[in-house]
Amino acid sequence: MTGNYHQLTLAEVRPGMVLSDVLLDVQGHVLLPQGTVLTEAMLALMPRHGIAVLPIVKDEVTPEQAAATLQHHEARLAHLFRKTDPDRDSDWATATLRRFVTDFRLGAEETPDHE
């Protein structure tokens, strides 16, 4: 864990805050990597995984930094999936992978299709 962090209860954590360490669930499985900018969707799922306290970087990410990170992830996803058409039904496996990776990286809201 980095030295510049503090433990916050779930009620104190706000979207845009950054994890200072890998977040593990109660079974020890990795939920989110270190450096993840938390979203409302991510925070809403924490109780389901038994998370009550999170290690948060003391220096919060500014809205500009969060926007730059989001833009970076969007550009990276566009590059990774540049040879695939997300609207093509014939390549359902790649479309499914793209949806899951996009949801994870961009913090998309959970829909009933993902449950």
User: Both ends of the chain: CA-CA distance in Å?
Assistant: 31
What is the pLDDT at residue 46? 92
For the full predicted model, state whether its pTM sits above 0.75.
Answer: no
Three-state DSSP class for residue 99: helix
CA dist., res. 24 & res. 10, Å (int): 14
**Where are the chain's structural domains?**
5-57, 63-107
DSSP-assigned states of every residue in 56-72: EESSPPPHHHHHHHHHH
CATH topology of domain 5-57: Molybdopterin biosynthesis moea protein, domain 2 (3.90.105)
Q: What is the pLDDT along the chain (115 residues), one digit of tens a residue?
A: 445 778 999 999 999 889 999 998 888 888 999 889 999 999 999 999 889 999 998 865 577 877 888 888 889 888 988 888 767 667 788 888 888 888 877 765 544 444 4
